[in-house]
Amino acid sequence: MTIASSSSQAGIIQRDSAWWQSAVGYQIYPASFADSNGDGIGDIPGIIAKLDHLADLGIGFIWLSPVYASPMVDNGYDISDYRAINPIFGTMADMDRLITEARARRIGIVMDLVVNHTSDQHPWFRAARADRGSPYRDYYIWRDQPPGKGTPADIEASFGGSAWSRDSKSGDWYFHLFAPQQPDLNWTNPALRAEVHAMMNWWLDKGVSGFRMDVIDLIGKQPENGIVADGPELHRYLREMHEATLAGRDAVTVGEAWSATPQNAPLYSAPDRHEVSMVFQFGHVTQFWDEKLGKWKPKPIDWPRLKSTFATWQGALHGTGWNSLFWGNHDLPRAVSRYGDEGKHRVASAKALATILHLMEGTPYIYQGEEIGMTNAGFTRIDQYRDVETLNFHRIQLAEGVDEAAFLAGARANSRDNARTPMQWSGAANAGFTQGTPWISVNANYPSLNVERDRADPDGVFQLYRRLIALRRDHAVIRHGDFRLLLPDHPALVAYQRRLGSETLLVIANMSRQAVNLPPSGISAIHGRDILTGRRVSMQPGGKFEPYETVAIWL
Ligand code: TEU
Ligand code: CA
């Protein structure tokens, strides 16, 4: 799939873009997107039925969260067969139809590649447990006793508890960075790596457009040395994988890398390194987590800090690599609830967030529902949650003496289930998501917040996203211009300039619930036509920005 770089106005430097540099990605979390058969769980035929919604939006590719065979301990991030579709999501024929139907709309399908670990029900792990002499034994990571307290190998799992669990069959301990039902693969084994490459080629030959690589920065781990992320062999494995699978193909790859920093990110995405197209980096997310209680005790958003993080990333990867741009995903709270205002200013703040993100350099990703400004779940009781991480930490933190109300407040802000409530398609029962009983509750606000309503509103969130996506396709300055942060210390105004050749784009947004004035210095008078709304903007220093008011004009 190749989208030629577009020509622009005279005087603009023309550059060739890879198709994924002008495209926008859209993440689908299948269980929560659209249910076609009334069992309460979203599925592949459901996705196919909604492809026109995505084609209208103008996206270039779908990142499809896992639909593979899985016992669903972690909603599909525990895979028991990489070449089979989970029957709750459909059949391989449905999957092939999804690839074809998407392609007919110029949309690529990007598969979630979860190869840091498998399910404990994967035949490899079953064989590994059953027989110490099996060739599959070494596909996993074993110890004959648990690590001593405080030794390097004494590592904590991401979902709580020790990363070592005893296998009742062989009596040994195996390593898992997530749930005990997600044993980590041993990437030092070349046979395992070859299996992964073969599987990737199998999917690429089927016509998928690339991969989102789950926790890929963990594959170089050395548990015995206490090394988990960013291990010494990580980049060698990624280059080897590229050579064996991606070389010569026009695919997009995005590696999830919680450990990525502005310093090491170019190691992944510099074109001459042949690893991945870009990484998902999380500096803008984790900077607002508590030092001790992490995501369960979030800090309020501090805009000067957040702006400076974005500016650092923009600078670090300009010309040296490539950025991904995102507010949310299936692990994170809803953008408008976390960074905007889900109440009175919901629509305006959702639009402001979209604008400031999409006009930066990089490939933007939209998480399902973000295009209509969907909000956090609003759950108040633990029995409303479904996520293994939330349920585990509820148990762990309460046992450690954390007050239940405090935990629930943290979960309400940051539980992964905030992003997993069903897509709100219409005001019909269950938001038009299912004819049955949804596996997780629909957000109560669906009668007023749904695709049907938002799309019908010319000033709604959807139409703004649509415009942003088209602008990126049409303007090289949005794809490749350099980035300069303005008013870095202003507590509410996010302001920056993009420049390429003679073209300069100015973006200013008031990210607060109060009206603010443009400061006397830093930005001179603004005159022009807003590229998003078409309205005339004319403002002097001192001029007023309403809450979440946003302007984007050519200078
Ligand atoms: O997420 C990696 C990951 O580290 C998150 O689980 C993270 O720890 C958490 O959201 C922060 O609290 C990836 C997938 O995106 C996630 O859905 C999976 O559960 C996880 O890997 C294991 O495959
Ligand atoms: Ca279904």
78 is annotated as an active-site residue: no
φ, ψ of residue 25 to 5 degrees: the values are -90, 155
Would you state the pLDDT for residue 9? 37
List the catalytic residue out of 172, 230, 256, 417: 256
Q: Is the CB of 339 under 6 A from ligand 1?
A: no
Smallest CA-to-CA distance from 364 within 470, 495, 483, 250 is with 470
Q: Determine whether 286 is exposed, middle or buried from the number of CB atoms within 10 Å of its CB (0-12, 13-18, 19+).
A: exposed
Question: Which ligand has the shortest distance to the CA of 47?
Answer: 2
Percent of the chain with pLDDT over 90: 95
Catalytic site includes residue 256: yes
516 phi/psi in degrees, rounded to 5? -135, 155
* Structure confidence at residue 348 (pLDDT): 98
Q: Decide: 455 in ligand 1 pocket, CB within 6 A.
A: no
Give yes or no for residue 7 having a pLDDT over 60. no
Q: Note the pLDDT tens digit of each residue in 495-527.
A: 999 999 999 999 999 999 999 999 998 898 999
Please answer whether residues 280 and 253 qualify as being in contact, where contact means their C-beta atoms are separated by less than 8 angstroms: no
CA-nearest of 505, 492, 475, 480 to 546 is: 492
Which is nearest to 24 in space by CA: 350, 479, 494?
Answer: 479
Q: What is the dihedral of CA 306, 500, 320, 7, to 10 degrees?
A: 120
pLDDT band at 2 (very low <50, low <70, confident <90, very high): very low
Whether the CB-CB separation of 510 and 546 falls below 8 Å is answered with yes
Neighbours of ion ligand 2 (CB under 5 A): 35, 37, 39, 41, 43
Residue 528, phi-psi category: left (phi > 0), alpha (psi -120 to 50), beta (remainder): left
- pLDDT at residue 17 in the model: 81
CB 74 less than 6 A from any atom of ligand 1: yes
Judged against a pLDDT cut of 70, whether residue 182 lies above it is answered with: yes
User: What pLDDT is attached to residue 15?
Assistant: 46
Q: Whose CA is nearest to atom 18 of ligand 1?
A: 77
Report the share of the chain in percent with pLDDT over 70: 97
Token code pair at residue 57: 């939006």
Among residues 94, 214, 217, 389, the one annotated as catalytic is 214
CB of 176 closer than 6 A to ligand 1?
A: no
The pLDDT mean for the chain works out to 95
Pocket test of ligand 1: the residue of 122, 181, 214, 365 to mutate, having most ligand atoms within 8 Å of its CB, is 214
- For residue 285, give the 3-state DSSP assignment: helix
**0.85 surpassed by pTM:** yes
Query: Lowest-pLDDT range, 6-20, 177-191, 411-425, 476-490?
Result: 6-20
Give the model's pLDDT for residue 16.
59
Tens-place pLDDT, residues 205-258: 999 999 999 999 999 999 999 999 999 999 999 999 999 999 999 999 999 999
Q: What is the pLDDT of residues 373-430, one digit of tens each?
A: 999 999 999 999 999 999 999 999 999 999 999 999 999 999 999 999 999 999 999 9
- CB of 214 closer than 6 angstroms to any ligand 1 atom: yes
The answer, yes or no, to whether any atom of ligand 1 lies below 6 A from the CB of 280, is: no
Dist CA 219 CA 244 (whole Å): 17
151 Cβ neighbours under 8 A, 6+ residues apart? none
Beta bridge partners of 4: none
213 lines ligand 1 (CB under 6 A): no
The protein residue whose alpha carbon is closest to atom 11 in ligand 1 is: 331
- Greater confidence, 138 or 8? 138
- In 3D space, the residue among 13, 1, 41, 24 whose CA is nearest the CA of residue 423 turns out to be 41
Between CA 310 and CA 283 the distance in angstroms is: 9
147 C-alpha to center of ligand 2: Å? 43
The per-type count for the chain, helices as H runs and strands as E runs, is 17, 21
Per-residue model confidence as pLDDT tens digits over 322-350: 999 999 999 999 999 999 999 999 999 99
CA of 331 to the centre of ligand 1 (A): 6
Cβ pair 229, 271 in contact under 8 A: no
Range with lowest mean pLDDT among 1-15, 79-93, 465-479? 1-15
Rounded Cα gap, residues 48 and 420, in angstroms: 19
Residue 553 β-bridge partners = 506, 530
Contacts of residue 383, defined as CB under 8 A and 6 or more positions apart, other chains included, come to: none
Give me the DSSP letters along 209-246: -EEEETTGGGTT-BGGGTB-SS-TTHHHHHHHHIIIII
